[in-house]
Structure formats: structure tokens, C-alpha cells
Amino acid sequence: MRALLVVNPAATTTSARTRDVLIHALASEMKLEAITTEYRGHARDLARRAAESGEIDLVVALGGDGTVNEVVNGLLHHGPDPGALPRLAVVPGGSTNVFARALGIPNDAVEATGAILDALREQSERTVGLGLASGTPDTEDEAVPARWFTFCAGVGFDASVIGRVEQQRERGKRSTHALYVRQVMRQFLDEPHRRRGVISLERPDAEPVNDLALSIVCNTSPWSYLGNRPLYASPKASFDTGLDVLGLTKLSTPAVARYATQLLMSSPERGPHGKHATTLHDLTDFTLNSKVPLPFQMDGDHLGLRTSVTFTGVRRALRVIV
């Protein structure tokens, strides 16, 4: 078997020594080429070349959700073709690792490597569905190419929080769950649309859902983690179905307190609910439109401002080692 290991040297939870151990373990079982990323988008370029070469059987992503997202977009640059594309394996190395954990992969890098090697010996894999999003930025630039996401996307509040976190990281702050919680509180205090939302969700053959102040698109469940606590924004979301949406029409102090508590206490059976909450399950095609430019994020990556984003749920898009 020929494999490419894409290593993010800035992965927050793996040291250089740990990466060396993982590379040695993988190389003992396969013909392995390990490449360390050097710039934003490098993982995408490496995975694209691997897919186009027709010579690579497996691409292993060592890093966080951002690294995984880049690798997935490289593999699927020409569209999904699970039978022909290299399979994907993920060794978690970020602060949250939602995609890996949602697949049942251990959150420890060494344990995950062992689990991947066991799965390869047992020929254990899963073909997962993914989300695809496209839209135009709030500038005179050309339209942004469609981009795949593995576990979540969002327009509005949550994307604003991610933008704040990225600003703090650029100033040297370490990505931690405490950092995210602080930025949630600051965004809430500064949020201009918390009493009346400006987002509408439109889909074929259905009435639009209007006045959303928050819109979270989920491709799997849990939506995220706070430490080791899973958070279920859309408990029914699954890699085997289309996309799910959680929308809130009000972000007043009482509403946020109620929904934040529900999110912290959420389970695979029940997520946030109430008169200001809208939950939609197994959507294939829909668009989120905003009356004003709002931040947009996919898989925890802030992508600028958008007034319109179109989403597609694509079933059985990529084979993953589990």
C-alpha cells in the first residue's frame, strides 16, 4: 500500500517527538511518504496531487479540523468518486478534532494511529457524506469556489466567534476551549442582531424560515466539544444523511441563557429547543440569505463576509478508515 502522510507542524496537541513516533509506526506497515505543510492551503495541494496521480491508496491527515478540511478539499477537487479516490485516515492533532471524534477515532494521536493500523488490517472503512457550500463574498471579487466541509458550517454568530478566535491566535494566543468561551461572551455583548435576526433559509418546495439570528449547519453529531463534553446542536445529523440546521430567531439574554444551558445538557436524543429554535433534518439543497453581510465559517475556518451561501448535502462522498 502506498500512503501519503500530511503533517501540520503547528498541530496544537502533538510534539515533534510524537510525530516521529507516529511516522515510524505508519511506515512499518506501508510505503509511506510524509510531507510537512509549509503554508495555508498546502495540505489541499498535496491531497489533490495524490488524488490526481492515481498512485496513492491512502492519505493520512495529522492535524486538527482545519488540516482535515484542506485534505478533503484536495481529494475532492474534481468531485466525489469514492471507488477511485484514495481513502482518508485522520490522526487528531488539534484542539477539538470534531470530525475524527465523530467517527469514533480516539482523540489521542498515538491511540488513533493504532486504531487506524488495526482498521487497515481488518479492511474496516466507511463511506461518509459531506457538505458542499458556495457563495459570493461581500466584495467586487469573483465568486468563491465551492468548498467541502466535514462536520459543520455557519453564518452569523458562530462564525463571528471563530473570527474573534482567529484574531486572538494571530496575536499569539493559544487555541483553547477557554479562549472560545471568552470570545462567545464578547460576541454576545457586541452582537448587533440578537433581538431580531437578518438571516432567511430558503429551500425548494417549502416556505422560507425568516428572521434567524443564528444558523448552524451540521453534517454530523456532535456539533462540537467543550473539553470532553460533546455538544449536540442537531442530534439527528449524520454522515449517512443530508445536512441538518439549527436556527435561532432571538439571542436576547434570557434566550441565550436558556439555549446555552440546553446545549451544555444536550444529548444524542435532544438538543436546543423552544419557540425561538428551528431544527431541520436531512436537507439536500438550501440557501442562507442575509439582509446584511455576515461572517461565514466552515469546519472552524473563518471565510469572510457573505450575504448568500448555498449548501448541498452529498451522500457517500468519501471513503474513510475507521
* Residue 278, number of CB atoms within 10 A of its CB: 19
The whole-number pLDDT of residue 178 equals 85
> Thinking of the domain 2-123, which architecture would CATH place it in?
3-Layer(aba) Sandwich (3.40)
State how far the Cα of 275 lies from the Cα of 238, in Å rounded to an integer. Answer: 24
Band of residue 10 on the pLDDT scale cut at 50, 70, 90: confident
**Would you kindly state where each structural domain of the chain is located, as residue ranges?**
2-123, 131-315
- DSSP symbols for 238-307: -TTS-EEEEEES---HHHHHHHHHHHHT-BTTB---STTEEEEEEESEEEEEEEEEEEEEETTEEEEEEE
The CATH number of 131-315, from 2.40.30.10, 2.60.200.40, 3.40.50.620, 3.10.20.30, is 2.60.200.40
Condensed to tens digits (0 to 9), the pLDDT of residues 88-146 reads 999 999 889 999 999 999 999 999 999 999 999 999 999 999 999 997 665 554 556 79
Largest CA distance in the chain: 58
| pLDDT tens-place string over residues 41-69 | 999 999 999 999 999 999 999 999 999 99
Query: Is the bond preceding 235 in cis, omega lying within 30 degrees of 0?
Result: no
